[in-house]
Amino acid sequence: MGLKFNKKQQYAWNILTTSGKTRILFDGGSRSGKTALIVEYLVRRALQYPGSRQLAARKCRSHAKTSLWEDTIKGYLRKFIPAHLFRYNESELSIIFSNSSRIIIGGLDDADRTEKILGNEYITVYLNEATQLSYQSMQMAITRLSQNAFDRKKRKAVPKLVMDCNPRGPRHWLHFVGVRHIDPESGNVLPDKEKWARVNFSAYDNKENLPPEYLISLESLPQIMKERMLSGVWRDNEGAVYDEFDEDTHVIPPFPIPEEWQKIRAIDFGYTNAFVCLWGAIDHDGRLYIYRELYKSRERTRVLAQEIKTLSGKEKYMTTVADHDAQERAELEEAGIITKGADKKVIMGIQAVKNRLAKQENGKCGIYFFNDLKNLLSEIYDYKWLPADSSRNAKEEPLKLNDHAMDALRYMVMALEKKEKSSTFRSITTSIHTDGRWK
Ligand SMILES: Nc1ncnc2c1ncn2[C@@H]1O[C@H](COP(=O)(O)OP(=O)(O)O)[C@@H](O)[C@H]1O
Ligand SMILES: [Mg+2]
């Protein structure tokens, strides 16, 4: 008993079970059936080799717990494996089978836990969403593939590394290793090239198991995201203004914004072009979360003002910044939305947004976006630099096309920067007044 494989999964299964192929990458579109297949493989390996250990790991333990453990593995076992054949150890996130085999679910984000996980030997290591890991983590995991286990006919288990991921840019280490079989550090062909195999999936491959709306929503994504998430192509965001933008890092599921976080709105006017209002909130570490958008063309400002008020509910804002159009600002004001003129310096604004996008040493960034902001996210992908020509250097001017949410975003970030500066100034002046030496 098990999954009824789609065609691509059947092909991929043949590779998984080829004994000469021991380093395997399934890369491809979102929900294309990669993880489901690998989970079945882990369970079958556990049942085939008594006393064997299989590791299923991804970068964060919390993500491993929700996506691998809760959503996928438990669902599979419930559906296909008789309950008396296994039990869960919830605190360890492991499954113990009646033949003493185990599947251990883990995260590689915490040094102590990683040491414990990698202190064990396995016959199967599965790295889920492997692009989020480092090349070193993968190499380390390979060294743990050293357990000896035998099936009932005394055949020794061939140790296997299996990875899956959605494609990223072609300069990613995993594209070198898993797709091209090249060492990303030396640029040489991998010495164990023959052991490697790769299967590229598209979401269409798993059509029979996906709701039709899901494929339609992938088809309507911005081009680069569509190629990656639907077709499974490794693509760079070349020429993008916000080239540090990364959906794995910056795009997060919505959560209720705590009431005490400071909030801000930013508005870019438009009638033929889109009118955009963005809502942002700042956590205790100063990180900005863009949590709501209003994005509409061909609507009167008066009507939009009411929509903004409805969406805002009882929230309070430290400020609302807007583009400079006097007439429009007056109309908002009539409806009770008081705005400040935005700082419209383009390159400085872009730089300020880029600074927030950059990862800090602790791995966190200064800005995050809720994943339901379709228009804003679509614009980030489309926001490109004009190419250099006789009158202009590279990266001097963005292409002015579908950049309305991008404008509102700059206004917001610039307004926050100004606030930060003035509050630093205030705290310096306070210390001048309180510390005698400075008088
Ligand atoms: N052979 C199958 N039979 C039934 N459902 C499947 C099958 N393969 C995948 N699915 C379902 O399709 C969805 C996406 O599969 P998943 O393996 O999570 O995709 P990926 O890992 O490529 O993002 C999941 O809901 C999964 O349960
Ligand atoms: Mg998956």
In single-letter form, the type of residue at position 7 comes to: K
Tokens for 300, please give them.
């009167």
Separation CA 50–CA 48 (nearest Å): 6
Which of 209, 229, 231 has most ligand 1 atoms within 8 Å of its beta carbon, as the pocket-test mutant?
Answer: 209
pTM: 0.74
Distance of CA 392 to the CA centre of its chain: 34
Mean pLDDT, residues 261-289? 96
pLDDT for the residue 239:
82
Distance of CA 275 to the CA centre of its chain: 28
pLDDT for the residue 205:
97
Question: pLDDT (tens digit, 9 = 90+) per residue, 359-410?
Answer: 888 889 999 999 899 889 889 988 999 888 888 888 888 988 889 999 999 9
- The full set of domain ranges for the chain reads 7-223, 247-425
- 202 CB less than 6 Å from ligand 1? no
Rounded to the nearest integer, the mean pLDDT of the chain is 92
The CATH homologous superfamily for domain 7-223 is P-loop containing nucleotide triphosphate hydrolases (3.40.50.300)
List helix spans (H) across 169-320: 173-174, 212-219, 223-226, 247-250, 301-312
Mean pLDDT, residues 7-20? 98
Dihedrals phi, psi of 276, to nearest 5 degrees: -130, 135
Ligand 1 geometric centre to CA of 29 (Å): 11
Separation CA 123–CA 163 (nearest Å): 14
Separation CA 378–CA 402 (nearest Å): 9
pLDDT for the residue 426:
57
Return the CATH number of the domain spanning residue range 247-425: 3.30.420.280
Residue 293: in which H helix or E strand, if any?
strand 288-296
Ligand 2 geometric centre to CA of 31 (Å): 6
Cα Dmax for the chain: 87
Separation CA 70–CA 88 (nearest Å): 11
- 410 CB less than 6 Å from ligand 1? no
pLDDT bin (cut points 50, 70, 90) of residue 439 is very low
pLDDT at residue 157 tops 80? yes
Residue 26: in which H helix or E strand, if any?
strand 23-28
Question: pLDDT (tens digit, 9 = 90+) per residue, 20-73?
Answer: 999 999 999 999 999 999 999 999 999 999 999 999 999 999 999 999 999 899
pLDDT at residue 427 tops 60? no
